[in-house]
Structure 1
């Protein structure tokens, strides 16, 4: 399995013509977009992508054997060939996407708004190795970039942030990086390096697996349970970052009061700060989940399939909007795959509503939402009960799926609760394992 990872290295503030380079590159892309839009009928006839790219480049670039039809070389003299080809590729993609959307719009009967071709192209250039980007052998935290100073293309020494370069040397030393892409975030420029690595995910049979079932919550960030196929619980962990959440909720309170007094026009900076805090919180939660799973040698990390659609309402509306459940699962998947751990998801219906011991629906406490009361009077942590049910549903599905239809129907007749996957709980897994052991002994 191929895993692609990237990291952005910040460029230190220097007197280098980054803006001029970015401006001329985007001007070239805008010029090419207009050209290819005017001759798209001619280019659309070429089905092969490489031949289409070559034909598009021949339209604007003059060689000994090919006189160009358009004066691109005159408007952008001495532009490096790699920059020109990157601009051609970006312009072709933009025009092709626009033409496809236009065809769909016509096929649908012109019901929705007509698509348009974006005139402002916010393309970012790629600095290819040796011809546009070179390492500085004398300084560790420096490199050379070929930039446009307003008159000509020249090599400029660029210094990069020391901590970013230390991270690359620590985690990616010896690995080959792709050509860096220029990025701009928060008025700062970055070079994003991409690394590709081959990893092999574990192929442990279900009967020998150890899983880490995770219940993502709002009050408690995550509850992890290490479980075996027979229902044995090997470990439990509550992951919570109260100080980080308290800081974020205080920022959200300030935003709410500011909007009430001044409106929502001048609050973008405050929202950006709150989102950065929330993103950092998601990174911490994902890192702790994967670390706990790898520490206990889990083969699979099991999540709920959380899909929240429609308009949110109620007191916890703002908390739900800032709940980064998809981002946490995505980050966990990326980090877990690098360690050879698989990711699986199960249906989220009733995992928190039903007690893990099979006693039925639970009653949540009004004062402390983390605790609940079972129908038999037992007091328990609601999120921990849900994590038991998540792990049990995974094993029930994986155990029953490969069985023949006759054997599966016999087991479902003995344990009817496993037929309906949306109401399976931890107690049903124990009953299913007991029934399978009885049938094996007989």
Structure 2
């Protein structure tokens, strides 16, 4: 069995003075966590024990009881009458920070030793312990009760005493097939939220290599992310290469135009106001609107990708490994628009990854090299062009593709999606690896066939297509890339 953890967020409705109580409660929590971090630093061997044993040791060192009237570092010097569950939540927060700090410190020492052995000068500064503490308060079982879909009672420190208060919560209900963890009080700006981690158990899908090499029924959903009109193009393929379905998720022009208009407003406002203070955020509302729309778009697209893959029973999702993408040169609005479009592609991958895992699907990435230039049929270089233009050369971002070698015609983004899926199969089946891409003549921009000079011929024959509509064959050297499947969705709608 495998498990996946996610967080369900609820916004809390409370009286105005309760916000001050929550702030006092968090301040006390961080004060106690800071105290226990100092205790761990003084007794560093605590980190060598499991969590439960470390918790017992730290309580013995700090908590006053009848059996332990004189602890080495009493917590009572910091605060009196701390509830046990509140104290233990702070201990676990301190243990997590201490483990993180000492792990980074150990890695820094190893890097320094390697540099000294090689005779190099080491200028990297060592990590330092936390200077300030801003942990969210975790509410263990004894710190909350009477939870329903609309309200919850929590115990908080008001600054004077401990008090139970009832607050209303708004958000989606906790699923019935998951195990809920301890909620946390999280502050976002001036509003307090209740975050509840939930854990879902599901059948382990197995490693990708095992699925691809041992199960011929495995289905792969390959996704090509773009910044043009087709934000995502998904194709479901079998491990044998049969194409089962295609989905075009549109809305790129709409989101790009909206973002560019807001960035234009920001640029004009800055030209009127002049230089802003270094620590001051300008055009707060406009920046917030851009972030919210990008976030909504990323969540919506990732959800539709996962739904499409689940609909066709795909168990593997594969993306391009997009790394250092540089924005286009030009005016501020154009450059900023491209940069945020690249950021949104990263969000789509991140959100798709955790959403797919909760459904029992694994996510992988392949090299993006020439995925948009390679023909999915014969693996030669393709021509990209706009409608109404001659099929020659390579125009980046053009919607249509043509292969002068095998005659393939169709959508360029769908072709790239097919190549992405093929690359995952090639990773685990080297025998099916295609021949190298042909070079392009500078004067024409058309791929030229240069078959290998061996008696056996090239690794992939151009004419190797079946004469009948059998499994794994293609007719007329076309993959029907100019036809859209019936389940292509409508354009994304954004609530601006």
Higher alpha-carbon deviation: 300-309 or 22-31: 22-31
Mapped pair 1:126 → 2:138: yes
Deviation at 1:331, TM superposition (A): 1.9
Deviation at 1:326, TM superposition (A): 2.7
**Structure 2: gaps spanning 5 or more residues:** 117-121, 387-394, 438-458, 472-496
- Note if contact 1:25-1:83 (Cα within 8 Å) is conserved in structure 2: no
* 2:218 aligns with one of 209, 230, 253: 209
Q: Which residue of 1 aligns with 2:400?
A: 371
Mapped pair 1:322 → 2:341: yes
After the TM superposition, list the runs of 4 or more consecutive aligned residues in structure 1 that deviate by more than 6 angstroms. Answer: 429-434
Higher alpha-carbon deviation: 186-195 or 335-344: 335-344
Mapped pair 1:281 → 2:297: yes
Higher alpha-carbon deviation: 372-381 or 244-253: 372-381
Is the partner of 1:254 in helix, strand or coil? Answer: helix
Deviation at 1:61, TM superposition (A): 1.8
Q: Distance in 2 between matches of 1:210 and 1:431?
A: 26
- Note if contact 2:385-2:401 (Cα within 8 Å) is conserved in structure 1: yes
Is the partner of 1:5 in helix, strand or coil? Answer: strand
Q: Which residue of 2 aligns with 1:349?
A: 369
Higher alpha-carbon deviation: 335-344 or 152-161: 335-344
* 2:129 aligns with one of 103, 114, 117: 117
Mapped pair 1:249 → 2:260: yes
- Note if contact 1:213-1:226 (Cα within 8 Å) is conserved in structure 2: yes
Q: Distance in 1 between matches of 2:400 and 2:107?
A: 52
Q: Which residue of 2 aligns with 1:236?
A: 246
Q: 1:100 to 1:175 in 2, by over 3 A?
A: closer
- Note if contact 1:210-1:300 (Cα within 8 Å) is conserved in structure 2: yes
Q: Distance in 2 between matches of 1:197 and 1:60?
A: 36
Q: Which residue of 2 aligns with 1:150?
A: 159
Q: 1:28 to 1:143 in 2, by over 3 A?
A: closer
Q: Which residue of 2 aligns with 1:44?
A: 45
**Structure 1: gaps spanning 5 or more residues:** 402-407, 419-426, 438-442
Is the partner of 1:17 in helix, strand or coil? Answer: helix
Once the two structures are superposed, the pairs formed by residues 118-197 of structure 1 within 5 Å of their partners are 118-129=130-141, 131-136=142-147, 140-161=149-170, 164=171, 167-168=172-173, 172-173=175-176, 175-197=178-200
Q: Which residue of 2 aligns with 1:11?
A: 12
Q: Aligned-residue CA RMSD in angstroms?
A: 3.4
Q: 1:314 to 1:428 in 2, by over 3 A?
A: farther
Q: Distance in 1 between matches of 2:355 and 2:46?
A: 44
- Note if contact 1:225-1:233 (Cα within 8 Å) is conserved in structure 2: yes
- Note if contact 2:14-2:167 (Cα within 8 Å) is conserved in structure 1: no
- Note if contact 2:37-2:95 (Cα within 8 Å) is conserved in structure 1: yes
* 2:57 aligns with one of 44, 52, 55: 55
Q: Distance in 1 between matches of 2:369 and 2:181?
A: 43
Is the partner of 1:160 in helix, strand or coil? Answer: strand
Q: Distance in 1 between matches of 2:285 and 2:134?
A: 22
- Note if contact 1:213-1:303 (Cα within 8 Å) is conserved in structure 2: yes
Deviation at 1:372, TM superposition (A): 4.4
Q: 1:244 to 1:313 in 2, by over 3 A?
A: closer
* 2:422 aligns with one of 385, 392, 397: 392
Q: 1:314 to 1:35 in 2, by over 3 A?
A: same
Q: Which residue of 1 aligns with 2:80?
A: 77
Is the partner of 2:223 in helix, strand or coil? Answer: strand
* 1:258 aligns with one of 257, 266, 269: 269
Higher alpha-carbon deviation: 142-151 or 224-233: 224-233
Deviation at 1:278, TM superposition (A): 0.7
Q: Which residue of 1 aligns with 2:443?
A: none
Is the partner of 1:369 in helix, strand or coil? Answer: coil
Structure number with the higher helix fraction is 1
Q: Distance in 2 between matches of 1:428 and 1:206?
A: 24
* 1:332 aligns with one of 352, 355, 373: 352
Deviation at 1:387, TM superposition (A): 1.1
Report how many residues are paired.
Answer: 407
- Note if contact 2:40-2:98 (Cα within 8 Å) is conserved in structure 1: no
Q: Distance in 1 between matches of 2:436 and 2:461?
A: 9
